[in-house]
Chain A
Amino acid sequence: MPARLTMTMKTSDNRPAAPASSRQTTPNKVARREAIIGWLFVLPALVMYAVFVLLPLLMSIQYSFFRWNGIGPMTWVGLDNYSRVLADSDLLGTIFNSLRLVVFFSFIPVSLGLVVASIMHRTATGRFGAVARTVLFLPQVIPLVAAGIIWGWLLALPGLINEVLRAIGLSDVTRAWLGDFDWALPAVGFIGVWVLLGFCTVLLWTGMTKLDPALFESARIDGASWFTEFTRIIVPLLRNEIGVCLTVTVIAALAAFDIVYVSTAGGPGNSTAVPGIQIYVLAFTEQRIGPASALAVILTALVLIIIIPFQRLNREATQ
């Protein structure tokens, strides 16, 4: 499958060169014109990207070297903001919290998504499969803020989840999930699982439908179980899709803001505080743009450090 892909790409690369030489026009000119047209198509998106992504990124890096309240004059402080952030155990704790969130936002949805998608792929092919996929994907359509508020109600002490627990005789484990020091972070993580499971399942299921059915047929003729199919065919051949899922969900975990802000706002204590929340508080509540930017730059670096090896592995796997 990967080999076939590269083949088609090569032929399409060769295509423009052939008619150009046959029509006697300077190949250089044509190539340049096509390049310009290409850039023109990309230009609007590029401008947007530059103005709304690159420029703010560079400005954040700039601000991180200054002491500034967002309004008055800026004072150069060098690396002072970085040393403050790195020396502040509360701020470092938020990074640790977001690493714990990776388990819930990334590892659980991806592994669970693989299992669910493969079961769907094997058993639920008809209308039932479509309905199941839609239901699983629905959380992606609901605004995260609304989801956070609804989960806040469900997880409250008088909420539905505790009522169900009480009804089945588990009164001892009921608690205010989002207000409990030990359980608030897993509870927020659980909301993340709910949001991201559908995304992973649908992406992985789409990957599975592209796999050659002959592979599964021959495996089944040889008497392969679901588990053998899963470990020998699905996981190795879906490495690309798994890579994409991991990348998206790990970023969602490390850069989490909306779900956490709406459900717990970082509490109780600082037990669910993540860098996104602290950046917001530092910048807007405390008017300390410098340390806020420094923490944002550190967060960006952390995301890149974790994501780039994933991408590398992914690319090597493809080649």
Chain B
Amino acid sequence: MKRLISFALSILALLALFAMMAQSPKAVAQDAVDCGTEPITLRGYFETGFDLPFRLAEEFTNQYPNVTWDISQDQFTNLINATPRLLSGDNPPDLIRLPTMVSFATQGLLKNLDDYAAAFGWNDWPVPQLNQNRVAEDGTRGSGSLYAMGLNYSLTGIFYNRELAAQIGMTEAPARLAEFEELLAAAKEAGLLPIMQWGSARSGMGLAFPLQALMASVGSVDPINDWIFQKPGATIDTPENLVAAQHLADWINNGYFPEDINAIEYTDANARFGQGEGVFIFNGDWQNAGYDTDMPGNVGFFLMPPAEEGGSPAGMSAPLTFGIAANAVNADCAAFFLNWVASNETARQIGVDVGGSNPGGPSGLPMPAVAEGSITNETLAAGFVVGEAGTSMDFIANATSAIFAQGWTPELQKMVGGRQDAAGLLQAVQAEYERQLSE
């Protein structure tokens, strides 16, 4: 019976799809890369729980009424699984949130955006993050043809509860790793939870954030980026990273994280932090709006401080990556949308208000105003620091499509459970990385 119902439903869905296909007009060849004046329906595939693309789509239709949207959405983990089939399907999305991109680019599923970059002048944009969306012919990331654009450029660091931080005597952001660790110890001493973090397999292990922050604090960001970009011979199992992993192991053993971290979901960790559980949390500026709502005026932000004197604070920063399917019907209009997001004043304002991150775009454009007292002021300022110092990194969770699910998450969970040590963690993840790259 169940099978019959699902069959009937899929038939209905297919019929609906055909109906939509019949409605959407084929792209007309035009000289200018824009959305034309004819009615056009852009097919979007967005990530559930993140309002920004939906709000941008809405505003785009306000400004270009001939463009309507047909948007599907899914959770991030489901996106990873569904993307190859969506892109290779008969009716691929015009605009899609890309969890990872190298394999899709090398498999020819993504549109090469070099022509659009030339037409819109994207190559002159100052944001170095454009490089994260470039894939070379040998499949390494960081240089080569452009295959995606960012709706904005996120930044990760350490959020803190101002009241609790004052309680443990924190008057300004720590300038050295050692100072930060003193604060953690003071928090523990005071009977507070030093760091709230998520760690369930379903959400993905949130300890990857403090671990990578420690890696960049102890060592330099370049070898980390090389590893993420799959440069030949790159390894995560370096002496610096071992020191970093050892710090994390100590934090775990000292009880700096919640004891139930292996069962905490992303949303629950943020809710509990918002309710005053935890002095610090490692997270990204996409959560700004949530923190502003949950703890208005009571949240602060700083970048992971360096271990050595003279070092620069570093942070993970990545574009909120959107690509265009190689066979997309309305590729021109989708590219026009991507350009509009970064250059239109209203769109940039939405990017900052809703997304909480730097909207990128051409140099010389003013940064949109941010509401006073919003945490976004601090994250945007921190973004300039990282940009100046050149210490931004992509996420170690994004090195391959399965390294997070099969490497970092289980091995870090084992570390929490006392079944993995710092050296074993790096060896196991490196072995998994090499196995996946050899496939």
Contact = CB atoms under 8 A, between A and B. Distances in A.
Interface residues of A, number: 33
A285 interface: yes
A195 to B, nearest CB: 15
Interface stretch (A9-17, A65-73, A293-301, A308-316): A65-73
Interface string A251-295: 000000000011011111110000000001100111110000000
B405 A270 contact: no
B417 A181 contact: yes
Contacts of B103: 69, 287
B271 to A, nearest CB: 11
Contacts of A261: 202
A265 B202 contact: yes
B200 A267 contact: yes
A265 B260 contact: no
Contacts of B85: 70
Interface stretch (A98-106, A121-129, A172-180, A219-227): A172-180
Given A156-B260, A178-B263, A270-B410, A264 B417 contact: no
B164 interface: no
A49 to B, nearest CB: 9
Given A48-B7, A179-B199, A267-B200, A286 B264 contact: no
A203 interface: no
B380 interface: no
Nearest to A187: B263
Contacts of A268: 201, 262-263, 410, 413-414, 416-417
B107 interface: yes
A235 interface: no
A202 interface: no
Which of A152, A178, A262, A285 has most chain B Cβ within 10 Å? A285
B402 A286 contact: yes
A52 interface: yes
A267 B7 contact: no
Contact of B405 (A156, A178, A285): A285
Interface in B40-87: 80-82, 84-85
Contacts of A233: none
A268 B415 CA distance: 10
Contact of B413 (A70, A71, A269): A269
B439 A286 contact: yes
A181 B419 contact: yes
A267 B402 CA distance: 15
A157 interface: yes
B32 to A, nearest CB: 33
Given A176-B259, A286-B406, A48 B3 contact: yes
Interface in A171-209: 175-181
B401 A281 contact: no
B261 interface: yes
Task: Determine which residue in B81, B88, B419 has the highest number of CB atoms from chain A within 10 A of its CB, and name it.
Answer: B81
Contacts of A281: 402, 405-406
A286 B262 contact: no
Interface in B244-269: 258-265, 268
B3 A179 contact: no
Contacts of B409: 267
A179 B261 contact: yes
B249 to A, nearest CB: 16
A181 B416 CA distance: 10
B109 interface: yes
B109 A176 contact: no
Interface in B163-217: 199-202
A175 B409 CA distance: 20
B398 interface: no
B267 to A, nearest CB: 12
A307 to B, nearest CB: 20
Interface string A68-80: 0111100000000
Contacts of B107: 69, 71-72
A287 B84 CA distance: 8
Nearest to B413: A268
Contacts of A178: 200, 263
Contacts of B19: none
B84 to A, nearest CB: 6
A157 B200 contact: no
Interface in B392-439: 401-402, 405-406, 409-411, 413-414, 416-417, 419, 436, 439
B439 A175 contact: no
Contact of A157 (B82, B201, B259): B259
Interface string A110-142: 000000000000000000000000000000000
B419 A179 contact: no
B81 A179 contact: no
A287 B401 contact: yes
Contacts of B371: none
B29 interface: no
Given A69-B107, A72-B107, A285-B81, A179 B401 contact: no
A52 B264 contact: no
A270 B262 CA distance: 12
| Residue among B82, B88, B202, B259 with max Cβ neighbours from chain A (10 Å) | B202
A175 B262 contact: no
B4 interface: yes
B260 A269 contact: no
A267 B413 contact: yes
Given A265-B201, A286-B401, 15 more contacts: A71-B84, A71-B88, A152-B265, A157-B260, A175-B260, A176-B260, A176-B264, A179-B263, A264-B201, A264-B202, A266-B410, A267-B413, A285-B402, A287-B103, A287-B401
24 contacts: A48-B4, A69-B84, A70-B88, A71-B84, A152-B265, A156-B260, A156-B268, A176-B264, A178-B263, A179-B199, A179-B200, A179-B260, A181-B417, A261-B202, A266-B410, A267-B409, A267-B410, A268-B201, A268-B263, A268-B413, A269-B413, A285-B402, A286-B436, A287-B84
Interface of A: 48, 52, 69-72, 152, 155-157, 175-181, 261-262, 264-270, 280-281, 284-288
